[in-house]
Amino acid sequence: MEQLVITGGNRLCGEVSIKGFKNAALAIIPATICARSECIIDNLPEIDDIRFYIDTLAEMNVECKYIDSNTLRIDSTNIKNVCADFESVKKIRASYYMLGALLGVFKQAEVALPGGCNLGSRPIDYHIKGFEALGAEVSVEHGIIRVKADKLTGSTIYLDFASVGATINIMLAAVFATGVTVIENAAKEPHIVDVANFLNILGAKVKGAGTDIIKITGVKNLHGGQYTIVPDQIEAGTFMIAAAATGGDITVTNIIPKHMDSLSAKLGEMGCKITEGDDFIRVVADKPLKATSVKTMCYPGFPTDLQPQMAALMAGVKGTSFITETIYENRFQYINELKRLGANITVDGRMAVIEGPANLTGADVSATDLRAGVALIIAGLAASGDTTIGNVRFIDRGYEHIEDKLIALGAKIRRIK
């Protein structure tokens, strides 16, 4: 077991470059199956979730080879089966994208129920609804999801909730459906657009990604191609919040500033100086910040994946801040760990009330999930004394070399066994 040890109280300053979006990569990698050819994916983050996916594809006779540390060649020409029930696939939530890709290509798939962080109930009902609308039969038995269709036929599918996973999965399957598929109330997150752009490079006909209506005209086959993953808005946001929490001055580069609008607005509201360029945002926190309120929503609203980091920031800010979580019912499970550091937080259902400024001091804490882990890092950076964070494996699932990037910004952080 590895741990991170942080000596807090240092102002973070400097420049940090952001890698490709984890959530986009975890959809585009299985989407390469649709090509039945060679694809080259650039700007991949070096994280455990990517490695788990590569292990899964290797078990299915898909050739995966790194060209460099962030560029992967994937050749699915000789994929040999439609069953993915390996231990590696059980470790990642995004394993369900295998269903849409395999269903589209082979008209059948068997995939183990997904793993990942325990953030509460995240049913795949909307995925199933979409597959059935295209003509597939779906069953769940002994931890395996099975989908099968004689043929796939385009349909109009209305999503009661703008589910990112369901939107992508339906797109992957509908690429090969006969006729036109329309997804109404589709999710609009940046990685939806990224997956659609990738599929179109391979020869698909997907229109409307980034809006609430996506239309997919089915094709008979796709071809290989090369694609660069969009920058990770959550990694970018994590460093922006770290700048605010430590009274720092950080320029976050290799990003799309538009994707950060909801966070930039909140940090500006709290008193940070925000400067935007074509591909960077600079966050300067050189005066005491003000309390604020955040409500998580689907894009372009405030992302739930930045909610724990904001709580860590709010704990050290004077006044009463509020967080309302509308996406995951278990997202607040990290709160008790922040309290160990001295945070004054009460939770009532899906609302957290944060009274600040708390006198944060170092303690032994444990990550409960990916984003909770980096929230504890941010709190530890702002606290006095040493903070030791356990369950670092959660953090490694989604952040590339995070301690190295923080050290370059002036943090005192080290990894130990």
Angle of helix 22-31 relative to helix 164-174, nearest 10 degrees, comes to 20
Of residues 39, 64, 117, 298, which has the active-site annotation?
A: 117
Query: What residue segments make up the domains of the chain, in order of their start?
Result: 3-17+232-416, 22-228
350: confidence class by pLDDT, cuts 50, 70, 90: very high
Q: Does the pLDDT at position 119 exceed 70? A: no
pLDDT in tens, 258-315: 999 999 999 999 999 999 999 999 999 999 999 999 999 999 999 999 999 999 999 9
123: confidence class by pLDDT, cuts 50, 70, 90: low
- Percent of the chain with pLDDT strictly greater than 90: 88
- Tell me, yes or no, if 39 is annotated catalytic: no
- Tell me how far apart the alpha carbons of residues 207 and 151 are, in angstroms, rounded to a whole number: 22
Can you give the pLDDT at residue 120?
46
* Burial class of 65 by CB neighbour count within 10 A (0 to 12, 13 to 18, 19+): exposed
How open is the CA angle 17-406-248, to the nearest 5 degrees?
90
CB 275 within 8 A of CB 341: no
Can you give the pLDDT at residue 87?
76
Q: How many other β-carbons are positioned within 10 Å of the β-carbon of residue 204? A: 25
pLDDT in tens, 351-380: 999 999 999 999 999 999 999 999 999 999
pLDDT in tens, 45-99: 999 999 989 998 998 999 999 999 999 999 999 998 888 876 777 777 788 999 9
- Tell me how far apart the alpha carbons of residues 310 and 242 are, in angstroms, rounded to a whole number: 9
Are both 3-17+232-416 and 22-228 of the same fold?
yes
- Percent of the chain with pLDDT strictly greater than 70: 97
Which CATH entry fits the domain spanning 22-228: 1.20.120.450, 3.40.50.2300, 2.40.50.140, 3.65.10.10?
3.65.10.10
- Tell me how far apart the alpha carbons of residues 124 and 96 are, in angstroms, rounded to a whole number: 9
Q: What is the pTM of this model?
A: 0.95
Phi then psi for residue 175, to 5 deg, are -55, -35
- Taking residues 185-214, report their average pLDDT: 98
Which CATH entry fits the domain spanning 3-17+232-416: 3.65.10.10, 3.30.750.24, 3.40.390.10, 3.40.50.460?
3.65.10.10
